[in-house]
């Protein structure tokens, strides 16, 4: 679905302020995958995703969306890419501007030039995906709560019905309830539409609980891109990069270091409990 | 330790907007805060924690009940400067609380307002920057700094007033993990080393467990109040308030439901390891 | 894109000009502008030009930068010159060439006079902003205008507004960039269509920007109150300015220049 070849991007090229944002990225994201993109601030993850819908032009290298080389194609194709690859920026509620929720969500579909009935259908569908009540459609988006605004903004991108949905820190600044709500909505969206989803996040916990695979960015390079268990297999490396691995992973890494036969690959409480119960039962049997 | 803030039966409702009913935010909240405490206040959005914070230095005024800070009524217009000097406040968005275009000039803002004479002002600005570890950036433009650095500048701007108490309203919500750690380290240092009372409103459990005391709010009321260990004992209740529980406590809670006798309020990785080793006792080694 | 526009140009530095008291720079710039309008002939411009040369040398900012800044103003300069030529009186410059009869000696002289005056004017004021940060300028203005408080002019408030505006310009530029990208991601088109279409296409940028500015203002007001802001009464200042030898030297130079120009006017 998304493929890059030696993708690099320099900011302020040719000036004394030139900095390398991303360097030599070669990745392939298959159709229908749910990818967590992690890395700390300045690791290049935001720069990377801005290339996927042609907002940024690579300094060198290529990007293929659905087999199409983005920058050797004509401008029309690139505009179509904006609709094929939906990008939800950080704090997306700051982009709301219309008088009503309905109008705001339909802004994207309208720009696509869709007929009114199709727009209507898409707004309805997007509203369902983010779990908002239809009664809100005629309200001003500015009268909603913070979490609701965020969901309206996300619906505005979902209504494009993109093949790839990319979300940059969709839970930033929300309380645990709002965070869980949004993440579970995105999970459902992925399951139902079978589209490709990229979740950019600082939180290893959120990523491991939601994604199927993880792409780790560090200092402008893609240092890991593998399934969630395979990435956690290298949890020590993640700690070395200054990423926060879940507390529970740290507990199990330590248990293993102490010589207990537990998997180091534990990142949810559920897994941790199962792992411990298995061991305790084994111990129980041995005592009998 | 002497009590520095006492809140008794505080009620507050936001005034009605056009065509809407007044929006109640606090209901009979009573709380006592002692000098030198590090308190974390938890609760989901809209539970009234920010509203409570704004009563502590007279930004909002109680409908009924009373807030006393350092022996003054927090709503007393006459003493407003004295109150704000003693109860400093830091907000969520670091961009929206920095006033000047150079770091040290921003830190000096409160001192200018208070009419502090020049030589003393320079000394206090230097001292405040030193405490938050931003001396090297004194001549920088704030908008070029990272979120964590900006928030430390905001803290320095409050610190320069030499407040006895600092209230922070979700200061880490917009920061990355690195910035969060920087801010938390700074706050702990201020609390432990110069005895500033810290009232930290947060959503992050790893921050709350480092406090001396945790207050949990829900729907405008105080629901739980105690040490982190006491509070995180109540995993079920916290879940019902849609709050996070530290993963280690979560694990213990899950094991308890399998009839394994472990304590629930286990808050650090090390502690969790100890408890698990006690249970495992070398099985499989 | 939008970040490439250099607003309120200021080049940080440690030169003689940079180290001068902003109040003195402001006053001297005022004198400089006045002297330019007193200049009676090209000899006067030679004197002012010499002063300008000193300013350029002692500011550490190359003339190239300044000339680049003049480029967008070239149109206005040429336009003014053209009209001066057109309406100038006197004898035709080339009486034997009929179609050049409108080119008169007086007109050409006037036009040249105007060009030199405008260029010197732009250069002088530019070097004030090149070597003085906007905040220092605001500060200097506040301090110089302080006596006007007696006439109920809200000097402190105006200066505070300027400072805050300057502080938030980079923040709002960043924010504009973000909003543009976010709306582009929803297929917004800012580049095609006639002027009305394009103006309408700005709504999805302007409204979020306005709302954000209001939200910031509200939060900033709270933050300022929490830091004991209560207007200009009883405020002390963190930045103290004092006139040094550079300022007195510059003042002496300026007085000499004005003196010379007045002499030129009399004789």
Q: Are residues A60 and A17 in the same domain?
A: yes
Question: What does the pLDDT look like over B209-241, one tens digit per residue?
Answer: 999 999 999 889 999 999 999 999 999 999 999
Instruction: Specify the 3-state DSSP secondary structure of B54.
Output: helix
Nearest residue of B to residue C166 by CA position? B101
CATH code, A227: 3.40.50.300
d(CA A118, CA A130): 19
Of the two residues A34 and C230, the one the predictor is more confident about is: A34
Residues of B with CB under 8 A from a CB of A: 44-46, 92, 146-147, 173-174, 176-179, 203, 206, 242-244, 246-248, 250-251, 254-255, 258, 260, 269, 272-273, 276-277, 279-281, 283-285
Assess A108–C contact: CB distance below 8 Å, yes or no.
yes
Q: Which residues of chain C have pLDDT under 70?
A: 1-9, 69, 89, 98, 101
Q: What is the mean pLDDT of chain A?
A: 90
pLDDT at A269 over 50: yes
The structure tokens 């009399």 sit at: C266
Q: Name the closest residue on chain C to residue A111, using Cα atoms.
A: C187
Looking at this predicted complex, what is its ipTM? 0.89
Are A226 and A266 contained in the same domain? no
Q: Which CATH number fits domain B3-245: 3.40.630.30, 2.20.28.10, 3.40.50.300, 3.30.420.40?
A: 3.40.50.300
Q: Are residues A104 and A133 in the same domain?
A: yes
Cβ–Cβ under 8 Å, residues A243 and A38: yes
Specify the domain boundaries for CATH 3.40.50.300 within chain B: 3-245
Q: Under a CB-based contact definition with an 8 Å cutoff, are residues B157 and B128 in contact?
A: yes
Say yes or no: A223 and A88 in one domain: yes
Which residues of chain C make contact with A92, given a CB cutoff of 8 A?
182
What b/e readout covers A110-122, taking b as 16+ CB neighbours within 10 angstroms?
Answer: ebbebeeeebeeb
Nearest CA in chain B to C229: B113
Q: Is A264 in the same domain as A194?
A: no
Top-confidence residue, B207 or B283 = B207
Is there a single domain that holds both residue A181 and residue A268? no
Of A247, A260, A273, the CB nearest to B254: A273
Write the pLDDT tens digit of every residue in A152-196.
Answer: 999 999 999 999 999 999 998 888 889 999 999 999 999 999 999
What pLDDT score was predicted for residue B169? 94
Q: Does A167 lie in the same domain as A133?
A: yes
Q: What domain range includes position A263? A: 246-288
Q: Are residues A227 and A260 in the same domain?
A: no
Q: Which residue of B has its CA nearest to A283?
A: B283
Q: Residue A142: its chain C contacts at CB < 8 A?
A: 211
In this prediction, residue B108 has a pLDDT band, given cuts at 50, 70 and 90, of: very high
From A263's Cα to the closest Cα of chain B, the distance in A is 13
For residue A37, what pLDDT is reported?
95
B90 touches B158 (CB < 8 A): yes
Residue B186 has pLDDT above 70, yes or no: yes
Same domain? A171 vs A269: no
For residue B39, which phi and psi values (nearest 5 degrees)? -110, 130
Distance CA B187, CA B193 (A): 10
Q: What is the pLDDT of residues A77-123, one digit of tens each?
A: 888 888 999 999 999 999 999 999 999 999 999 999 999 999 999 99
Q: Comparing A48-52, A278-282, B133-137, which segment has the lowest mean pLDDT?
A: A278-282
In sequence order, what are the beta bridge partners of C92? C104
- The conformational region for residue B70 under phi > 0 = left, psi -120 to 50 = alpha, else beta, is left
* Token code pair at residue B127: 């001292």
Coil, strand or helix: which one is B256?
helix
Question: Does residue A232 share a domain with residue A257?
Answer: no
Q: Do B45 and A259 touch (CB under 8 A)?
A: no
Chain B contact for C242 (CB, 8 A cutoff): no
Could you tell me if A188 and A207 lie in one domain?
A: yes
Tell me phi and psi for residue A217, to 5 degrees.
Answer: -105, 140
Nearest residue in A to B173, CA atom: A173
Q: Which of A146, A254, A272 sits opposite B273 (nearest CB)?
A: A254
Nearest to B96 among C166, C216, C235 (CB): C216
B102 and chain C: CB distance < 8 Å anywhere?
yes
Distant-in-sequence, close-in-space partners of B88: CB < 8 Å, separation ≥ 6 = B57, B158, B159, B161, B163, B165, B166, B167, C226, C227
Residue B160, pLDDT above cutoff 70? yes
Per-residue pLDDT, C3:
41
3-state secondary structure chain C: CHHHCCCCCCCCCCCHHHHCCHHHHHHHHHHHHHHHHHCCCHHHHHHHHHHHHHHHHCCCCCHHHHHHHHHHHHHHHHHHHHHHHHHCCCCECCCCCHHHCCCEHHHHHHHHHHHHHHHHHHHHHHHHHHHCCHHHHHHHHHHHHHHHHHHCCCHHHHHHHHHHHHHHHHHHHHHHHHHHHHHHHCCCCCCCCCHHHHHHHCHHHHHHHHHHHHHHHHHHHHHHHHCCCCCCCCCCCCCCCCCCHHHHHHHHHHHHHHHHHHHHHHC
Mean pLDDT of A72-76: 84
> For B168-177, what is the mean pLDDT?
92
Average pLDDT for B16-21 = 71
Specify the number of domains making up chain A.
2
Phi/psi for A161 (5° steps) reads 45, 60
As given in the structure block, the two tokens for residue B181 are 């750690």
Query: What is the model's pLDDT at position A192?
Result: 94
Task: Tell me: pLDDT of A283 over 80.
Answer: no
Per the CB < 8 Å rule, is A97 touching C204? Answer: yes
Q: What is the mean pLDDT of residues A246-260?
A: 88
- Please indicate whether, in this complex, the C-beta atoms of A82 and C185 are within 8 angstroms of each other: yes
A262 shares a domain with A171: no
Strand blocks (E) in A100-258: 164-168, 196-201, 213-218, 221-227
Contact assessment for residue C19 and residue C136, using Cβ atoms and an 8 Å cutoff: no
């Amino acid at each position: 679905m998304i493929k890059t070849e030696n993708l690099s991007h320099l900011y302020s090229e040719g000036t004394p302020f030139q900095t390398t944002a991303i360097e030599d990225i070669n990745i392939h994201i298959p159709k229908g995958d749910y990818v967590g993109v992690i890395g700390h601030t300045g690791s290049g993850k935001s720069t990377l995703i801005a290339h996927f819908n042609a907002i940024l032009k690579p300094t060198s290298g290529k990007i293929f969306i659905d087999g199409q080389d983005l920058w050797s194609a004509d401008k029309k194709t690139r505009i179509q890419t904006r609709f094929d690859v939906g990008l939800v920026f950080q704090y997306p509620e700051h982009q709301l501007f219309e008088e009503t929720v309905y109008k705001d969500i339909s802004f994207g579909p309208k720009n696509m030039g869709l007929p009114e009935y199709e727009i209507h259908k898409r707004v309805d569908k997007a509203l369902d995906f983010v779990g908002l009540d239809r009664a809100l459609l005629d309200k001003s988006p500015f009268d909603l709560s913070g979490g609701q605004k965020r969901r309206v903004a996300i619906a505005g991108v979902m209504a494009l019905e993109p093949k790839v949905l990319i979300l940059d820190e969709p839970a930033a600044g929300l309380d645990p309830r709002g965070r869980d709500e949004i993440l579970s909505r995105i999970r459902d969206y992925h399951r139902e539409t079978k589209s490709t989803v990229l979740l950019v996040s600082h939180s290893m916990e959120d990523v491991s609980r939601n994604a199927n695979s993880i792409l780790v960015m560090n200092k402008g390079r893609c240092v890991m891109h593998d399934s969630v268990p395979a990435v956690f297999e290298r949890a020590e490396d993640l700690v070395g990069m200054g990423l926060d691995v879940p507390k529970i992973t740290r507990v199990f890494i330590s248990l293993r270091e102490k010589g207990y036969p537990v998997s180091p690959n534990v990142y949810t409480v559920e897994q941790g409990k199962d792992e411990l119960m298995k061991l305790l039962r084994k111990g129980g049997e041995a005592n009998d | 330790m002497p009590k520095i803030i006492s809140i008794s039966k505080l009620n507050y409702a936001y005034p009605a907007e056009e065509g809407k009913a007044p929006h109640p935010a606090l209901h009979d909240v009573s709380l006592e805060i002692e000098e030198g405490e590090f308190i974390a206040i938890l609760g989901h959005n809209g539970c009234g924690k920010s509203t409570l914070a704004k009563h502590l230095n007279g930004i909002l005024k109680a409908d009924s009940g009373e807030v006393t800070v350092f022996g003054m009524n927090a709503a007393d217009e006459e003493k407003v400067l004295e109150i704000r000097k003693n109860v400093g406040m830091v907000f969520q968005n670091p961009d929206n609380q920095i006033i000047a275009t150079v770091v040290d000039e921003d830190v000096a803002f409160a001192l200018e307002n208070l009419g502090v004479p020049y030589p003393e002002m320079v000394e206090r600005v230097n001292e405040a920057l030193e405490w938050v570890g931003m001396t090297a950036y004194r001549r920088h433009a704030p908008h070029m700094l990272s979120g964590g650095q900006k928030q430390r500048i905001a803290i320095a701007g409050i610190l320069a007033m030499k407040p006895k108490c600092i209230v922070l309203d979700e200061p880490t919500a917009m920061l990355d993990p690195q910035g969060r750690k920087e801010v938390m380290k700074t706050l702990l240092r201020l609390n432990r080393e110069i005895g500033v009372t810290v009232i930290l409103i947060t959503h992050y459990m790893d921050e709350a467990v480092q406090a001396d005391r945790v207050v949990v709010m829900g729907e405008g009321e105080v629901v739980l109040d105690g040490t982190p260990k006491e509070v995180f004992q109540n995993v079920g209740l916290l879940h019902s308030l849609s709050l996070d529980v530290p993963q280690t406590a979560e694990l213990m809670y899950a094991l308890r439901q399998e009839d394994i006798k472990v304590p629930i309020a286990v808050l650090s990785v090390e502690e969790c390891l100890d408890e698990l080793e006690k249970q495992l006792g070398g099985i499989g080694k | 894109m939008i970040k490439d526009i250099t607003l309120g140009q200021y080049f940080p530095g440690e030169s003689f000009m940079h180290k001068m008291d902003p109040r003195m720079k402001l006053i001297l710039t005022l004198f400089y502008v006045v002297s330019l309008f007193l200049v009676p002939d090209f000899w006067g411009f030679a004197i002012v030009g010499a002063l300008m040369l000193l300013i350029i040398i002692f500011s550490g900012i190359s003339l190239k930068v300044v000339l680049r800044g003049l480029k967008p103003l070239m149109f206005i300069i040429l336009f003014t010159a053209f009209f001066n030529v057109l309406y100038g009186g006197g004898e035709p410059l080339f009486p034997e060439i009929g179609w050049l009869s409108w080119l008169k000696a007086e007109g050409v002289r006037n036009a040249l006079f105007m060009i030199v005056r405008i260029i010197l004017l732009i250069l002088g004021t530019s070097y004030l902003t090149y070597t003085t940060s906007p905040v220092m300028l605001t500060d200097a203005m506040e301090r110089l205008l302080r006596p006007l408080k007696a006439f109920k002019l809200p000097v402190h408030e105006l200066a505070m507004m300027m400072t805050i505006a300057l502080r938030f310009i980079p923040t709002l530029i960043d924010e504009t960039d973000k909003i543009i990208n976010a709306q582009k991601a929803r297929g917004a088109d800012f580049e095609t269509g006639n002027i009305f279409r394009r103006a309408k296409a700005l709504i999805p940028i302007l409204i979020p920007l306005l709302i954000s500015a209001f939200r910031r203002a509200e939060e900033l007001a709270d933050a300022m109150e929490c830091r004991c802001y209560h207007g200009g009464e009883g405020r002390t200042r963190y930045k103290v300015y004092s006139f040094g030898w550079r300022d007195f030297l510059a003042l002496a130079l300026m007085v000499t220049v004005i003196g010379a120009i007045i002499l030129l006017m009399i004789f």
